[in-house]
Structure formats: C-alpha cells, structure tokens
C-alpha cells in the first residue's frame, strides 16, 4: 500500500517533468467529455480482469491505468467460474481482486465498484453483476440462481459481448428465450454494444427494444496501452455515465435509468436523448462575424466552433447554407477551435447550423442531427 503510493507519486512526478518537455502529449491520454446541462459526465470502464481470473496483471495496474486515462469509475469483474491461474494463485475468495484494487485506489478520486462475471455457456453467456456485496455467494450450480443472488444483493447486471464468436459463430447477437426470461424478471438490466475491439450492431437494437442500458467496455486482460494502442493515439472503449453526483450511488442510479453513451473507436453510441446534449455540450460557438474583403463586408459569416471533447466529430452539413472552405462532410478535431465560413446569402442577425453527426449512432445505422444556434452581435 505504502509502496504503491510512493510508486504513484514517483510516476506522477515523472509525468509532470515529461509534461514540461512534451507539452500536451502527457495530458492528452486523459479521456475528456463535458458535463451535460443536468448531469455530471463520468468516464467508466466496468469490465476488466486481473490475475484473479484470466487476466495477466495484478489489480494495482488496473488502478494505475485508470488514473492515467482519466477514468472515473472501474470494476474488476473476475470470472467466478473460470480460474485458469488457480494453480499459482489459489483464490478461494472471489472478492479479493476488488479488495486489493479498492485499497490501492484509496486517497485517489477513482471509484472502484465491486463486481463479478457470471461465466456460462450461451445462453445466457457471460454477464457482469455490479454493486454486489459478496461475490462468493454468486457461485451457484444453476445460472439463474446466480442472477437471482446478484439481484438480491442489489446488482445491476449486463450481458457481455453478445456478439462474441467464441460462443456464437455468427457473431450476430440474438436474444434467447432465457434472456427474455431474465429481462422479464429484472435480472438483466444492460447489454454491451461494444466489447474490447468489437461492435455488436444487433445488440444496439436489442437494447433499444428491451429498454436495456447501452454499455461498452475494454474487457482488458493484458495491458490497456497495448490492446488499444494508446501511445499511437488510440483510446480505451468506455461508457460515459450521466450521474447526478460523483459517487457509487450516482453511478448506480444512472446505470439503472439508462443514462449512458459508449465511446468506442471514436464513435459515440447511445440513446438520442443523451447523445444530442453530449454533442451539443462538446461543440460550442465562441465567436461570429461577417468576413470583410478589401474593406468591403461580405455575406460570408465566420463562425468559430470549439470542440471541448476527445471525439473527432464527423459532420455532414444539413443546414440551408453551404460552406466556403469545406465540403459538406468534414471533421472537427478534439480539443480544438475550428473556423467555419458560412455562405448565408444575406446579412442575418441569427441563423441555425444543422449537422448530422456521422460518428454518433442511436439505432441501426441512424445518426443524430444537432442544431447550433448562431447569433450575431
Ligand atoms: Zn470478461
């Protein structure tokens, strides 16, 4: 514990020194998205492994990786029924991974949630139970009994990688009658639409049709930097959770109410009612005026847009006006300010810009449209 804290201080000191030399490089790996008007945006990665099931690292590494990535909430969801390191790390207590991570995270802002992975053949496949009290009590002969015990403990339960070709040769997520039963009994509350480096397009439809919370996780077993090429500019997949407060209860309430957006390979996936305010909070207008040329005012408006998020937005212009310097499809880089030159065709004191956001998805191949109101002084 003390050793870890010393190590953490040492690493922070190195990052600080590196920051002086490399400027933004060291801070840029922290995942940044703005808060919504009524909610805090918390960055979560709620499906991870350590050596206490089939992962390759000790739990402290998961804590350190999360802190480096600016992740607010993690859960180490060890397989209850799959313990391949048992010969080397006898693990009678399935809570051990959580207890270690929780202790390592003490004194930091990181929230660690107790979780476990109920690991069965399909159906029901693999599912994560979060906010449980005692993982050992979830070891049951019958899968449904494990789900019921988790629910008794107050768990939020989600179906992991429903598209996984390890269990489903088609790679196409399909709801079985057993899943339907779990949903009807309130034993299944969410579903992963992304897992590690895979996207389950049909799982998004299952989520929308059954009112399941949309989830995306790293499911990391090795090192997060290697799996998602973070040094090369990649990012881990995360679920952005829109919480009323920064606490375990705040996260739990938001998950049960479906207030999430997944960030995966620069795509945002979620319900339209959360995607739109997230994007509108990310892209804000910070100045506007009509261009002049040779002392003459033109009817081309110069609009500066600031993107205060980590997403590179891919926009398609749906406005009544065309752009002077860009094609109708263009990108806005993360954490930058971009100038758009709008041919308004007349002097307007206000107008709306409308863009379809092609890297955001709320249903099968459907993208939301956002409106940016522009008001000239
Ligand atoms: Zn897993």
What CATH number is given to the structural domain containing 43? 3.20.20.140
Q: Is residue 307 domain-shared with residue 218, that is, in the same domain?
A: no
Host domain of residue 295: 283-375
Whether omega for the bond prior to residue 187 falls within 30 degrees of 0, making it cis, is no
- Which residue blocks in 29-176 are alpha helix, DSSP H? 59-68, 96-104, 143-152
> Residue 131 falls within a domain, yes or no?
yes
Are 183 and 306 part of one and the same domain? no
Q: How far is the CA of 195 from the centre of ligand 1 (A)?
A: 9
Q: Is the domain of 230 the same as that of 347? A: no
**Any domain includes 257:** yes
CA of 274 to the centre of ligand 1 (A): 26
Shared domain check, 299 and 262: no
- Please report the pLDDT score of residue 20 as a whole number: 43
Residue at 23 is within a domain: no
Domain containing residue 355: CATH number: 2.60.40
Residues 179 and 108 in one domain: yes
* Tokens representing residue 60 in the block: 């402290």
CA of 109 to the centre of ligand 1 (A): 24
- Is 2 a member of any domain? no
Residue 161 and residue 199 in one domain: yes
Same domain, 99 and 219: yes
Tell me, yes or no, whether 10 lies in a domain. no
pLDDT at 7: 52
The rounded Å distance from CA 273 to ligand 1 centre is: 29
Q: How far is the CA of 197 from the centre of ligand 1 (A)?
A: 13
Domain boundary (270, 303, 336) is at: 270
Task: Give the predicted TM-score (pTM) of the model.
Answer: 0.92
Question: What's the pLDDT at 19?
Answer: 43
Indicate whether 210 and 105 sit together in one domain: yes
The number of distinct structural domains making up the chain is: 2
Strands 111-119 and 126-130: antiparallel
pLDDT at 286: 86
- 176 and 300 part of one domain: no
- Please, what is the angle between helix 96-104 and helix 59-68, to 10°? 40
Weakly modelled stretches of the chain, pLDDT under 50: 1-6, 9, 12-26
Cα–ligand 1 centroid distance for 117 (angstroms)? 6
Distance from chain centroid for Cα 367: 18
**259 and 323 share one domain:** no
Residues 12-21: b if buried by 16+ CB within 10 A, e if exposed: eeeeeeeeee
Does some domain include residue 26?
no
Q: How far is the CA of 49 from the centre of ligand 1 (A)?
A: 7
Q: Are residues 299 and 175 in the same domain?
A: no
């Amino acid at each position: 514990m003390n050793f870890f804290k010393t190590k953490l201080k040492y690493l922070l000191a190195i990052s600080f020194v590196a920051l002086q030399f490399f400027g933004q490089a060291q801070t840029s790996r922290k995942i940044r998205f703005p808060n919504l008007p009524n909610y805090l945006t918390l960055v979560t990665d709620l499906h991870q492994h350590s050596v206490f099931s089939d992962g390759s690292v000790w739990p402290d590494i998961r804590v350190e990786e999360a802190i480096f990535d600016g992740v607010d909430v993690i859960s180490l969801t060890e397989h209850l029924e799959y313990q391949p390191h048992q010969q080397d790390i006898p693990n009678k207590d399935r809570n051990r991974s959580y207890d270690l991570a929780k202790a390592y995270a003490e004194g930091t802002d990181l929230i660690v949630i107790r979780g476990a992975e109920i690991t069965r053949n399909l159906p029901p496949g693999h599912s994560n139970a979060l906010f449980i009290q005692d993982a050992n009590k979830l070891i049951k002969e019958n899968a449904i009994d494990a789900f019921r015990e988790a629910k008794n403990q107050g768990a939020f339960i989600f179906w992991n990688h429903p598209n996984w070709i390890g269990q489903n040769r088609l790679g196409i997520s399909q709801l079985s009658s057993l899943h339907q039963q779990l949903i009807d009994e309130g034993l299944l509350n969410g579903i992963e639409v992304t897992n590690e480096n895979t996207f389950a397009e049909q799982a998004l439809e299952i989520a929308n049709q059954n009112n399941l919370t949309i989830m995306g996780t790293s499911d990391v077993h090795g090192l997060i930097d290697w799996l998602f090429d973070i040094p090369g500019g990649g990012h881990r997949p995360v679920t952005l959770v829109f919480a009323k407060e920064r606490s375990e209860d705040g996260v739990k309430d938001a998950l049960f109410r479906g207030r999430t957006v997944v960030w995966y390979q620069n795509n945002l996936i979620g319900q339209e009612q959360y995607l739109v305010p997230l994007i509108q909070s990310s892209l804000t207008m910070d100045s506007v005026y009509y261009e002049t040329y040779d002392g003459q005012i033109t009817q081309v408006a110069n609009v500066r847009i600031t993107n205060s998020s980590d997403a590179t937005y891919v926009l398609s212009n749906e406005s009544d006006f065309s752009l002077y310097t860009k094609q109708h499809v263009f990108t806005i880089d993360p954490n930058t300010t971009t100038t758009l030159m709008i041919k308004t065709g007349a002097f307007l004191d206000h107008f709306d810009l409308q863009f379809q956001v092609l890297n955001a998805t709320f249903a099968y191949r459907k993208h939301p449209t956002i409106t940016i109101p522009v008001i000239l002084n």
